[in-house]
Amino acid sequence: MLKPILPDPDSLSLSQLVAQMIVVRTTGHLFDHEIEYPVWEANHPQLEHYISDLGVGGIILLGGSGAEIALRCQALQAMADIPLLISADIEEGVGQRFSGAIWFPPPMALGEIARTNLALARQYAHQFGQTTAREAMAIGLNWVLAPVVDVNNNPANPVINVRAFGETPEIVTELTQAFIQGAQEYPVLTTAKHFPGHGDTSVDSHLSLPVIDHDLARLDQIELAPFKGAIFPGAGKPVDAVMTAHICLSALDQQYPATLSKPILTGLLRQEIGFDGLIVTDAMVMGAITKTYGAYEAVVLAIEAGADVIMMPADVEGCIQAICEAVRVGRIDEAQIRASVERIWRAKHKVSGPAAAGPSCHNWEPTEPVTQVQQLAQPKTIELAKTILQASSRQGGTGFKPKEQGQNVILVDDVLSARHFLPRTAPAITEPMGWGYELTLLDSRSSQLPKTGLPTLVQLFVRDNPFRRGKPVVQLACQCLELLAGDLQAVVVYGSPYLLEKLSLTDHVPWVFSYGQMPMAQALMMETLTHGTFVLGAIDQSFTD
């Protein structure tokens, strides 16, 4: 006899229903002493309380290896009476957050390919979605917080930037639809973000509230078009969830940001566009919310606006109590809470049914989940990532030849956060070291400048990263390139095409560019630089398992 995995919502108390609407963040590492963000990430006793006592509905993970995540997800699900939705921001593949899996270049690399070959870019995006879902499911994740559906039409955007699939609604719509269709071949949830469009901003919503003043006609033509494409793709199933943006759109609501706006979430997204999946907030600890609204009032406003899921509230227990109190005093109708839980139940049925497997899944029959980490980093996955990196790269000039002695100048946004892509064994370090080049590592806080009078390779690792403060590293890059003009042998740029444009490199000095920053991208760029041309491979057409 098959057992139902989810209880009748009528059997749950109001606080239990509300708890199902909460997603809390914790580390992907197995032990509390490895927590990297203690203000945001629950330790083990807190997490056990949230899951076992309060009954929260979901978890978001960051950090650790794929093998750790598989064990972590299995332990988390074992704590829960009701199956958990376990999520991660894996916009660049599972390896972006969890070592051992494959880290893909950012989505804009596919947009680069689409400029000249949209059909090929769609194929890669579909395979990218397949791979992300398969690797996520293998280690216990059942909710992919991707794709980014924003149109990055503002080069100064510090928070979306290369996370977007492109700069036009046409390309973004095509590629995000392909990604979603690929991912939906597996029992995981997909998420279109950040509604109603975070692409045309120059303020980081992690720090403060961006304001967009476009009229409704412009919003419908540019920002909303990819979201409509994700919700009504024509072919395939609609996206499972839509994540809100912490931005103010005066044409739609002059009082509240989108995450807290009933005209935007209920009026536009739910009623006018007709989306019936999960509406999930962006993290409620972000500065765009916390600087203006208290932790408790903000979550009540989000539920009033039409959100089904609250992501990363500042005080989990206090927020549950605040929402329950809003129901008791009549600010929120209990029927709305129950409607949200029904949507959450549909989502949990999708990822926990007979087709689902892996350590995150409560099966219909009570069997012990089995980890599937052997599914990570399969040869075809590595081939796909490498092919996208190659096909989206750029180069200019030729003739680089290492000298017997020289220097390798590496500039990064932040030395302390660069270890994820720039370990001691990174090709950007070891390859020039093999030529006899000494290393100089600088970031935007560095007071020193590189030596002159030596043959010099300059490598720039720059993305417009969230939370970045201080002098942009592009200023330091320009200063170094000017200082080293007479000694410059070659330039390698990893990350942002907008930086590449600001540098105004000419073909007088060999240069190469990669959207990726990971060691795989570094190895490809070193090979390209020394051999003078890209060696493009052909992706296997029979990619699907």
Distance CA 475, CA 483 (A): 12
Distance CA 424, CA 421 (A): 10
Q: Strands of 118-216 (E only): list them.
A: 143-144, 191-195, 211-212
Residue 270's identity, in one-letter code, is: R
Q: Say if residues 440 and 411 touch (Cβ distance below 8 Å).
A: no
Strands 211-212, 22-27: pairing is unpaired
Paired residues of 472 in beta bridges: none
| Burial class (CB within 10 angstroms; exposed 0-12, middle 13-18, buried 19+) of 49 | middle
| Sign of the alpha-carbon dihedral angle for 397, 400, 406, 409 | positive
Q: Which residue's entry shows tokens 């000249």?
A: 116
Which helix (H) or strand (E) covers residue 159, if one does?
none
Provide φ and ψ at 77, rounded to 5°: -65, -35
Q: Both tokens of residue 302?
A: 């989000």
What is the SS3 assignment for 186-208?
Answer: CCCECEEEEECCCCCCCCCCCCC
Provide φ and ψ at 59, rounded to 5°: -130, 145
Longest Cα separation, the chain = 79
For the annotated catalytic residues, the residue numbers are 206, 282
Distance CA 537, CA 541 (A): 12
Paired residues of 459 in beta bridges: 410, 492
Helix, strand, coil content of the chain in percent (nearest 5): 40, 15, 45
518-541 b/e with 16+ CB inside 10 Å = b?
bbbbbbbbbbbbeeeebeeeebee
| Burial class (CB within 10 angstroms; exposed 0-12, middle 13-18, buried 19+) of 235 | exposed
Q: How many Cβ atoms sit within 10 Å of the Cβ of residue 113?
A: 23
Distance CA 534, CA 113 (A): 15
Distance CA 412, CA 392 (A): 21
Residue 149: closest CA among 115, 197, 214: 197
Distance from the first to the final alpha carbon of the chain:
31
The number of helix segments (H) and strand segments (E) in the chain equals 18, 16
Q: Strands of 68-213 (E only): list them.
A: 85-88, 143-144, 191-195, 211-212
